[in-house]
Amino acid sequence: MLKVSFFFFLRCGFRNLNQREKKTSKGRGRERKMGWIGETMDSIRSLQIRQVLNQAVSLGMIVTSALIIWKGLMCITGSESPVVVVLSGSMEPGFKRGDILFLHMSKDPIRAGEIVVFNVDGREIPIVHRVIKVHERQDTGEVDVLTKGDNNFGDDRLLYAHGQLWLQKHHIMGRAVGFLPYVGWVTIIMTEKPIIKYVLIGALGLLVITSKE
């Protein structure tokens, strides 16, 4: 869902960039149309097809560039999900619902105090909490990690899978290294009220098709 809002933002920027080029080709197209009126219908039809294709290609370009940037970020930060939105109030007052966290995963060992994002087997939504206990093995370097939300009373053992007492490194998706407040509300609204997502995508599609510029 973050991708959709990302894409929307990109689209507005792109729209400004593409303005001039679209207008020029449009102008010339209309010129020719004026000269050929009274000639064949399908030359007009072909021009309209061309305009539609033009729009479709620009839209495709925007979607593709959004995807490229997203995948690029995934590579750079080494994390499956380089940007997450805080969904619950378990880390207040530090991170409120609707904040965005930038993640980074490096080979450095997990240490107490770090804010990590992890996936529990069986739960699809990643959780953002702080590490409070670390036990690192001498020989293998494997770690057992216990986490807890700042605003929660007890540790996260209730959230882990049944019988699981510790998290291992492979559960952890990344460490939080930076954050932006309030920006994630768009994603939350679109996830919790999917109708808004459809309305937004519909409006976007409509704008692209009907815009003259």
Residue 160 tokens, joined: 């882990």
Instruction: Name which position in 57, 68, 112, 203 contacts another protein (CB under 8 A).
Output: 112
For another protein, the closer of residues 194 and 206 by Cβ is: 206
Q: Which is nearer to another protein, 16 or 195 (CB)?
A: 16
Strand, helix or coil at 115?
A: strand
Closer residue to another protein, CB minimum distance, 124 or 138:
138
For the annotated catalytic residues, the residue numbers are 90, 129, 156
Sign of torsion over alpha carbons 176, 177, 181, 186: negative
Structure tokens at 41: 């219908």
Helix (H, G, I), strand (E, B) or coil at 73: helix
- Nearer Cβ to another protein, position 8 or 70? 8
Contacts of another protein in 3-62 (CB under 8 A): 12-13, 15-17, 19-20, 23-24, 27, 30-32, 34-35
- Stretch of 54-62, 63-71, 130-138, 184-192 lying at the interface with another protein (CB under 8 A): 130-138
Tell me the closest approach of the beta carbon of residue 82 to another protein, in angstroms.
15
Residue 187 makes CB contacts below 8 A (sequence gap 6+) with: 1, 2, 5, 85
Sequence-distant (≥ 6) Cβ neighbours of residue 213 within 8 angstroms? 15, 19, 22, 23, 26
Q: Assess contact for 130 and 149: CB atoms under 8 A.
A: yes
Q: Are 173 and 119 in contact (CB under 8 A)?
A: yes
194 lines the binding site for another protein (CB under 8 A): no
Question: Pick from 114, 152, 185, 191: which binds another protein (CB under 8 A)?
Answer: 114
Residues that bind another protein (CB under 8 A): 12-13, 15-17, 19-20, 23-24, 27, 30-32, 34-35, 93-95, 111-115, 130, 132-138, 141, 144, 148, 150, 155, 176-181, 213
